[in-house]
A and B are shown apart, each in its own frame.
Chain A
Amino acid sequence: MTNTLHRYGKAESFVDDYIVFSLPAKSKAAGQSGDALAAQKRFMQIAAEYSPCSLGDALHGGSLRPTKSKSIFGHWGKRNKPNFKKVLEGMSKAGTMAAVFDSRAKAEAFVKRIKEEELGLSVNISSSIENAKNACKFAGIPRHSVAYSLGFEDVGDNTPGKQAIMLSTMCGHGMLSINLAQKMMSFVKENRRTPKEAAETMARFCSCGIFNTTRARRILEDVRVGVK
């Protein structure tokens, strides 16, 4: 599934956006053997050491999730914070497990460590082409395969509301609506929410946990001051 591939934006807008994810080859024809879930748990435990901005289990959710409250004041004030432990403890089936990093140094160090671990899982980096190349170079790995995103046809650089598309496409499954992204942009512009609060609100809709709150905060800061 291409849920991380088609994020809208120029290469420079992915300066703080590295998704490193692992998955086993599930088809019988692939003939892969071994305990994929145990390997993926180790992958995610190691990722947590490198201070990701999010961890996500495609089956159970990310480190920021919707909440339920019986109290009238349940969702006033402080909301839940990213909870990595919950993601790690919730992993029950091998699938797509992702770590989102907001810095080149963290992402590259993690990729190098994962190479050394020799888990045998397929590992992919979803980012700008150059970011992934640099991470491979740092780890001393030749790229195996690459899937290029050719971008959204007819969505040009000067399209109105492109920042809403940048925010919305950070959930590649489309769970984060463009209307909500625009609403959050308005809330930030009107100083009704901080960029951090708005980014965390949007992250709760991304059920795979791959929404990058750091990139979202940066985009929302631009929106606040009118940078296009």
Chain B
Amino acid sequence: MKINPKKCVACGNCTYVCPMGAIYIDPELKRATINRDECVECYACYNGLSKEVLPPSTVRFVRRTLANFRVRFEPEPDVCPTTAFEPDQLEWPRVVRRAFSDPRVPHESTGVSGRGTEEVKTNDVTDRVGIGQVGFTIELGRPGIGARFRDFQEMSRELAKAGVSFEKNNPITTLMSDVEKGDIRPDILNEKVMSAIIEIKVDVARTEEIIRIIWGVEKRINTQVVIGVGVRCDADGEENIVLPILEKLGYNPQRAKTNIGLGRKVIRDLSGAAPIAQPKEMVTA
């Protein structure tokens, strides 16, 4: 991402919307400036800010004049008043930043969409995580911290030493140069992303061991780790095997994503289905 200095009026709105805090007003240039090493190319600034096309020179004059009276020109906090953000042509390896950080961009670099896979969200169709198994999603970088691939490599190497197998369709796995060792290709190790997910599947008996490995690595890396634990419920919809292990380790899970088991191999043919009424155009929440 880049900011057109001819358009930027240094209103400062974008400094707040950058999830990495990588945008600042340069006191010499008097323009918003991006710290390219910290920018993860998430495009939150470009996609998230509403846009106006005010004339920059007029806005700068108004800002300077008002500032003399300690009055502030203040556009709406989610607006770039001069549409100053412009997408950059990203080359390898920087392009991986965007692939992992902008949720709307498919992984052209890896051929996989998103930061992870469908995990247990489609388990009712795929049976990816079966009875007696645990699917771990180990996400690095949230909330609002970001992570570099060398951090992911720290984690993947430790997990590889324990002999786990990585989910082969996961974007991180596709960027490994040696999946057996958990090595990530060296040319991207310093690239920073918003977050990404390492995915593994193990037998239930290894749940505690894997969590202790994660605890060990997170002390050594300069980012935040958040763990998701996916399991199959029994025929009554209960899950009384993994939760007690997590509680024994001191966790008290509050939130979960629950697959309610409506997925089928064949999606319903709706050609003869009764139509559903359209909603009103505007709905006040």
Q: B residues within 8 A CB of A146? A: 120, 230-231, 233, 239, 256-259
A122-B121, A145-B232, A148-B246 are contacts. A29–B44 as well, Cβ < 8 Å? no
Binds A, one of B1-9, B91-99, B182-190, B272-280: B272-280
* One of B44, B52, B78, B194 near A72 (C-beta < 8 A): B52
A149-B226, A179-B21 are contacts. A144–B122 as well, Cβ < 8 Å? no
Q: B residues within 8 A CB of A30? A: 122, 125-126
* Contact of A68 with B257 in the complex, beta carbons under 8 Å: no
The distance in angstroms between the C-alpha atoms of A169 and B226, with both chains bound, is 12
A163 interface hit (Cβ, 8 Å): no
* Contact of A143 with B239 in the complex, beta carbons under 8 Å: yes
The distance in angstroms between the C-alpha atoms of A183 and B120, with both chains bound, is 36
The distance in angstroms between the C-alpha atoms of A201 and B21, with both chains bound, is 18
* Contact of A204 with B78 in the complex, beta carbons under 8 Å: yes
Q: In the complex, how many angstroms separate the beta carbon of B141 from the nearest chain A beta carbon?
A: 8
B36 interface hit (Cβ, 8 Å): no
* One of B114, B125, B142, B194 near A152 (C-beta < 8 A): B142
B37 interface hit (Cβ, 8 Å): no
The distance in angstroms between the C-alpha atoms of A44 and B87, with both chains bound, is 32
B270 interface hit (Cβ, 8 Å): yes
* Contact of A149 with B256 in the complex, beta carbons under 8 Å: yes
* Contact of B19 with A175 in the complex, beta carbons under 8 Å: yes
Complex interface residues of chain B between 102 and 138 (CB less than 8 A to chain A) = 103-104, 114-126, 129, 135, 137
A83 interface hit (Cβ, 8 Å): yes
Complex interface residues of chain B between 44 and 96 (CB less than 8 A to chain A) = 44, 47-54, 75-79, 83
In the complex, which of the residues B52, B266, B284 has the most CB atoms of chain A within 10 Å of its own CB atom?
Answer: B52
* Contact of A136 with B237 in the complex, beta carbons under 8 Å: yes
* Contact of B194 with A180 in the complex, beta carbons under 8 Å: no
The distance in angstroms between the C-alpha atoms of A70 and B123, with both chains bound, is 47
Considering the complex, give the chain B residue whose CB is closest to the CB of A179.
B16
Considering the complex, give the chain B residue whose CB is closest to the CB of A152.
B226
A223 interface hit (Cβ, 8 Å): no
A10 interface hit (Cβ, 8 Å): yes
* Contact of B278 with A88 in the complex, beta carbons under 8 Å: yes
B29 interface hit (Cβ, 8 Å): no
A34-B267, A63-B283, A150-B246 are contacts. A175–B44 as well, Cβ < 8 Å? yes
Q: In the complex, how many angstroms separate the beta carbon of A1 from the nearest chain B beta carbon?
A: 4
Q: A residues within 8 A CB of B165? A: none
Cβ-closest 5 pairs across A and B: A34-B267, A142-B237, A144-B261, A122-B263, A132-B258
Where the two chains meet, the residues of B that have a C-beta atom closer than 8 Å to any C-beta of A are: 15-21, 42, 44, 47-54, 75-79, 83, 101, 103-104, 114-126, 129, 135, 137, 139, 141-144, 169, 194-195, 197, 218, 224-233, 235-239, 242-243, 246, 251, 253-270, 273, 276-285
**Besides A144-B237, A146-B258, A152-B224, 13 other CB < 8 A contacts?**
A66-B78, A67-B50, A68-B51, A115-B260, A118-B268, A123-B260, A133-B258, A146-B257, A148-B228, A168-B143, A173-B115, A204-B50, A204-B78
